[in-house]
Chains A and B, each alone.
Chain A
């Protein structure tokens, strides 16, 4: 009986395993090999075993640490913005006031817009010569002259963070709304009877109740941000003056522009390392959530 149960289980997962591992297993191992053996078509050391040479080269180059710094800046800033605004918007939409049902149904729209469309939409609005954002800021007298927001190394990354936050904050809103609606309303009434104000009930009831959701959003979004590529490709392609070149974008450049396959493979594995760490944290948190 037990053997039969096992066979049934394996039979049902077999199609998935073929589809997933059939595609993944060879490339993921080969990439690892590439990071140890020089396969760069333009290198004079082509075919030589490099040991940890590529890792050493990456970790001691200033370009890597600059990439990492920009990646962390983007990751931390946009995750923080999405979580904070997501929570505030969810708190607003959890109240009852005229128009709230309309707002609840439209707030998800930016999330549904494809990433590439989002990138070109913001690029169009931020255009330095005839962008609508320049036109509006001029009319409000917030700027004296049209600015090339994406052409300026000190504002380009900020623009990408804003564009990304516009699309992805709704995801946080949806998660937080679901969590807020799961809170027992009688607890708020009890708190009110005890004389607690809005702030007291927020910190005593709301925040502890949605803390697991906050943690899940932060970890989930951090992993996604760390791997972000599409919006960078669309809006700045790593420029101007490398100001938006992240680890992921550099990996792409090394692989498909500079044809440094081994260096790209090494960077890719360093990204994998971070993703694995984040995944472990994520799973730990989910497990703890289940035990409660």
Chain B
């Protein structure tokens, strides 16, 4: 890492290279931010400007009316209203999934990392496999079971369904964090008379907290992003999530790109802010789960 306030090397020998890097960097920034900026522009452009030919990249007048609608509309058939409820559903589901999966998953992860028991390797492989399992291999019987018990279109049963693939993910990543904590902590605590559960909660959990935050953020993002199960299992405002609402906007005969963009901006707000703010944690979580080095 470089220090703050360092002056850049523009000496004759390096100047060409620095300029090349900066131009490539500019191109990269354009490709990365261009589509995001365009989504924002579309969300505030008037309908007439959106369908204008030739398209003006910078509109003369803008409107925030669509955003206002999303927050204030109380007309049950209004897409803006539907979207607000879907956002709230998504948030409740993602928050519940994150909390529950962290509690359940970190206990399991600790066990896999630090306790010796028979069948551990086999179970770990099964866990990894369930994480990679395509939902298509479960969906038909799951649908029939959920239908029989009257669990369709309800948030609670959807949360349970999400846990079935997010808990394996948490175990997979967290056992790596727990594994990197030395067992000598445990032995020292036991010499001092602490029970195993005490060592787990007062020694391991605090040390593993950065890992738990990283994993929790990824779990939240996974749940926020989930589409397939939600598409099949939800149909009304009582459980429909943000991605399903956006897919519906795209499927209608008259496609309102202004509204779709507003939905896109609002649907991305939470994950993008979390990712930019907690980038260090996220990188840590991702690389722990993927590369064991």
Contacts and interface: CB of A to CB of B under 8 A. Distances in A.
B191 interface: no
B139 interface: yes
Interface size class of B (residues with CB under 8 A): 35 or more
A125 B275 contact: no
B242 A114 contact: yes
Contacts of B29: 99, 102-103, 106
Interface in B212-227: 221, 224-225, 227
A178 B287 contact: yes
Contact of B35 (A9, A121, A170, A290): A121
A2 to B, nearest CB: 8
B243 interface: yes
Given A109-B32, A109-B33, A124-B257, A28 B133 contact: yes
Interface residues of A, number: 99
Nearest to B170: A16
Interface string A199-226: 0000000000000110011001001000
B203 to A, nearest CB: 15
A175 B291 contact: yes
B50 A130 contact: yes
A97 B21 contact: yes
A19 B167 contact: yes
Contact of A125 (B8, B35, B137, B142): B35
Q: Is the interface of A mostly helix, strand, loop or mixed?
A: helix
B181 interface: no
Q: Is the interface of B mostly helix, strand, loop or mixed?
A: helix
A17 B24 CA distance: 49
B98 to A, nearest CB: 14
A182 B293 contact: yes
Interface string B1-33: 010000010000000001001101110110111
Contacts of A28: 133, 137-138
Interface centre among B57, B142, B232 (most CB of A within 10 A): B142
A20 B162 CA distance: 10
Nearest to A279: B132
Contacts, number: 283
Interface string A217-246: 100100100010110011000000000000
Given A23-B161, A135-B55, A12 B137 contact: no
B180 to A, nearest CB: 13
Contact of B134 (A2, A117, A227, A234): A227
Contact of B290 (A31, A129, A135, A175): A175
A190 interface: no
A139 B56 CA distance: 11
Contact of B250 (A89, A103, A123, A138): A123
A149 interface: no
A107 interface: yes
Given A31-B137, A98-B22, A213-B291, A276 B57 contact: no
B292 A289 contact: yes
A185 to B, nearest CB: 12
A19 B107 CA distance: 13
A19 B164 contact: yes
A100 interface: yes
Contacts of A267: 136
28 contacts: A5-B115, A5-B116, A9-B115, A12-B108, A13-B111, A27-B137, A97-B8, A105-B276, A112-B268, A113-B264, A113-B272, A120-B263, A121-B39, A130-B52, A130-B55, A182-B293, A212-B291, A220-B290, A223-B132, A233-B247, A248-B136, A264-B136, A268-B139, A271-B137, A279-B129, A283-B128, A289-B291, A290-B292
Interface of A: 2, 5-6, 8-10, 12-13, 15-17, 19-20, 22-24, 26-28, 30-31, 34, 89, 92, 95-100, 102-103, 105-117, 119-125, 127, 129-130, 132, 135, 138-139, 166, 170-171, 174-175, 178-179, 182, 212-213, 216-217, 220, 223, 227, 229-230, 233-234, 248, 251-252, 255-256, 261, 264-265, 267-269, 271-272, 275-276, 278-279, 283, 286, 289-290
Given A106-B276, A255-B140, 11 more contacts: A12-B107, A23-B138, A27-B138, A89-B28, A112-B268, A114-B267, A116-B227, A117-B246, A120-B260, A283-B128, A289-B293
